[in-house]
Chains A and B, each alone.
Chain A
Amino acid sequence: MASKIKVKVKLKGDVAEVKSLMMHPMETGSRKDPDNGATIPAHHITQLTFTNNDKPVMVIDCSTAVSRDPFFSFNFTGAKAGDTFVVDWVDNKGETDRTELVLE
């Protein structure tokens, strides 16, 4: 399946500005199905990892209080054109998604 992670990395000198958007329902586990009143089980990303040339630059641990389709931005230094930037996440059901891009 194609990755549903959208990520943009803008290089400004050796600073990389990362903006990323995941597609995920981020169910809290306290919401009820409006049709039958059944509780919708929690389903949320637990951990996101961002690496640049296999070196971790950011790890984000999420609770259910992160909004649906999570957005994260941050900056890191030491990046250059040609570096391989990878974003991946795992959720509480063990599902994963991963995307990779070459910085330019």
Chain B
Amino acid sequence: MRPGRRLFLKGVLALAALAAIPRALLAMAWPANAFGAIAASDAMTEIYGTDQSTPSDAITLGAPEIAENGAVVPISIETTLADVQSIGVIVDKNPRPLAVFFEIFPGTQANVACRIKMSETSPVRAIVKTPGGLFSTEKEVKVTIGGCGG
């Protein structure tokens, strides 16, 4: 057997072993590539494998219509979708669009809140992952003073 093939097989076995660990015991490694992506579609593809999501009324994205201070924009996301696995927040016009990513465990309710920075007026998108696919909702937030200090 050629060494290249042996190495490949080892890799496959290692992956299979990783997949066997129950999801609840293993947090995802910090997704550096997704957070480093400059285009929103690249960030989505890095973290979800696709940049497509289905718009859904079952997700409520709470965000101010006008944020006077882009350094502190309070947002909240709530959804009635079942079996939520994760909630991602994408700010399309930020220098790095993926802002924050919540990994939801069984028993944890899909309602989260946090404060994010926005560099300029932009759509803010909440992406909810369930076994049934990716669902999203978006809201435009107007920013008076940008909060990335560039």
Contacts and interface: CB of A to CB of B under 8 A. Distances in A.
Interface of A: 15, 26, 28, 30-32, 46-47, 49, 55-68, 70-78
B58 interface: no
Contacts of A64: 96, 117
Size class of B's contact patch? 35 or more
B109 A65 contact: no
B25 A56 contact: yes
A59 B71 CA distance: 23
B67 to A, nearest CB: 11
A60 B114 CA distance: 11
Interface stretch (B12-20, B27-35, B137-145): B27-35
A26 B99 CA distance: 12
B99 A46 contact: no
Given A61-B31, A63-B98, A74 B103 contact: no
Given A60-B100, A71-B114, A30 B108 contact: no
- Determine the main DSSP class of B at the interface with A: mixed
A8 to B, nearest CB: 14
B99 A74 contact: no
Interface of B: 24-25, 27-28, 30-31, 35, 71-73, 91, 94-96, 98-105, 107-109, 111-118, 147-150
A74 B76 CA distance: 10
13 contacts: A15-B109, A32-B149, A46-B30, A59-B27, A63-B35, A63-B100, A64-B117, A65-B91, A65-B99, A67-B72, A72-B114, A75-B109, A77-B109
A47 B109 contact: no
Contacts of B25: 56
A65 B116 contact: yes
Given A28-B117, A66-B114, A74-B113, A59 B28 contact: yes
Nearest to B102: A60
